[in-house]
Amino acid sequence: MRCPNDETTLVMSERSGIEIDYCPECRGVWLDRGELDKIIDRAGSQTPPAPVPSPAPSYQERPQQQPRYEQPRYEERRDDRRYDDRSY
């Protein structure tokens, strides 16, 4: 078989029961039909189950902070008259 990239003759190799065709020039790798399925089956049986993610932190109220500025002080007025800017 010839390499589709540079027309070099592919070299066949076998690793762990999987046949791999590779090009010695461009280092491309090709798998025969069914070889990828073998790799996926082996990888699926060897990988441990994915870890369960920890639950998201629950909402917690923030503690009340001290006010940054002092509370405004209102002076008491001695007279109960309100300011009126109307001219009579």
Q: Is residue 66 included in any domain, yes or no? A: no
Q: Is residue 67 included in any domain, yes or no? A: no
Measure the CA dihedral 63/64/66/71, to 10°: 180
Q: State residue 83's pLDDT score.
A: 65
Q: Is residue 87 included in any domain, yes or no? A: no
Find the domain containing 36 and state its range: 11-46
Q: Which of 31-35, 55-59, 80-84 has the lowest mean pLDDT?
A: 80-84
- List all residues 6 or more positions away from 6 whose beta carbon is below 8 Å from its beta carbon: 23, 25, 26
In this prediction, residue 68 has a pLDDT band, given cuts at 50, 70 and 90, of confident
Phi, psi angle pair for 38, to nearest 5°? -60, -45
Q: Is residue 21 included in any domain, yes or no? A: yes
Indicate whether 27 pLDDT > 80.
yes
Q: Is residue 85 included in any domain, yes or no? A: no
Q: Is residue 29 included in any domain, yes or no? A: yes
Residue 58 Cα distances to 10, 52, 65, 70, 84, angstroms: 58, 17, 21, 33, 55
Q: What's the total number of domains in the chain?
A: 1
In this prediction, residue 67 has a pLDDT band, given cuts at 50, 70 and 90, of low
Q: Is residue 37 included in any domain, yes or no? A: yes
Residue 7 Cα distances to 20, 28, 82, angstroms: 17, 12, 100
Q: Is residue 17 included in any domain, yes or no? A: yes
